[in-house]
Amino acid sequence: MAKLPTPRDPTLEAMKVEVELALNHPPRGHLGASMIGDKCMRKLWYSFRWVSLTNFEFTTLSRFEDGHLSENVMAQRLRMVRELDLHTHAEGGEQFRFTDFGGHFAGSADGFVRGLLQAPKTPHIWEHKCVNEKKFAKLLKLKTEKGEKQALLEWDGIYYAQAQAYMHYFNMTRHYLTCATPGTRDVTSVRTEYNASYALSLVSKAQAIIASSEPPTRITEKKDDWRCNFCGYKEQCHFGMLASENCRTCRFSQPVDGGWYCHHHKKMLDHERQRDGCKRFLPIEGLSTLTEEVAA
């Protein structure tokens, strides 16, 4: 017997469209500390250069929203501990933010906390993550097997790198990560120590990506490698799909202190102009050339 189709709900379908329109924002203008730990240099370069300007679907946007809501709930709950002093915004209401390399490398910390009962005198960077139950269970297991201060590195290298970058730029030596399942039902935490040599390697990595005028070497030449299977740039990287046409994928422009400069028009480019590009667009070599396999 054929499976019956799931009944449509036109109201929810319309809602999803409106959510996608409302929550899809212009592309990030900088290389973020939240992703600098990714091991693929080319992926990071593609992101910084806006190689693919695609919008997120409803499910992904909802996951982002879960994270923001969970962070707010956790902050409220932590403030119930009388000994704790948690700051999530500066006096002017802005997030705690660092920038480097002319504004092209940046990150915003969730907050700073002092008065943790397990380390009352030491200030910590505070970050919160909302993850699915499977990933949450893995963190609990690693805390037991590897110890709390090694757990973050073993659990998620990208989160670990983010923690190290924040400690480095905010001149702090401890990081306190709280983690929850969706709905902030189950919670746990890990504290991580500053690793100066690793943090400095991340700074050098960011500088190399920003300064590179062409795509870095692939992390692998195997098109079916597990590291590439869920990468949003797989088609451009391995199969020759054309990059988005914008100023960041054009060989006339380059990142400079405070923004992007076009050598053809000889002027600085604002965020909107970078995204729109112009008729003089000339793609960076290697971005628009089809592979022999695709061309055939």
- Residue pLDDT, tens place only, 28-40: 899 999 999 999 9
pLDDT digits (tens, 9 = 90+) for 104-153: 999 999 999 999 999 999 999 999 999 999 999 999 999 999 999 999 99
Residue 3 has pLDDT above 80, yes or no: no
- Mean pLDDT, rounded, of the chain: 91
pLDDT score at 295: 34
Are the C-beta atoms of 151 and 159 separated by less than 8 Å? no
What pLDDT band is residue 240 in, cutting at 50, 70 and 90? confident
Are the C-beta atoms of 68 and 184 separated by less than 8 Å? no
pLDDT score at 296: 32
3-state secondary structure 32-77: ECCCCCCCCHHHHHHHHCCCCCCCCCHHHHHHHHHHHHHHHHHHHH
Residue 19 has pLDDT above 60, yes or no: yes
Residue 265 has pLDDT above 60, yes or no: yes
Q: Which helix (H) or strand (E) holds 106?
A: strand 105-109
What pLDDT band is residue 249 in, cutting at 50, 70 and 90? very high
Q: Which helix (H) or strand (E) holds 114?
A: strand 111-114
Structure tokens at 137: 């269970």
pLDDT score at 131: 95
Structure tokens at 45: 């370069």
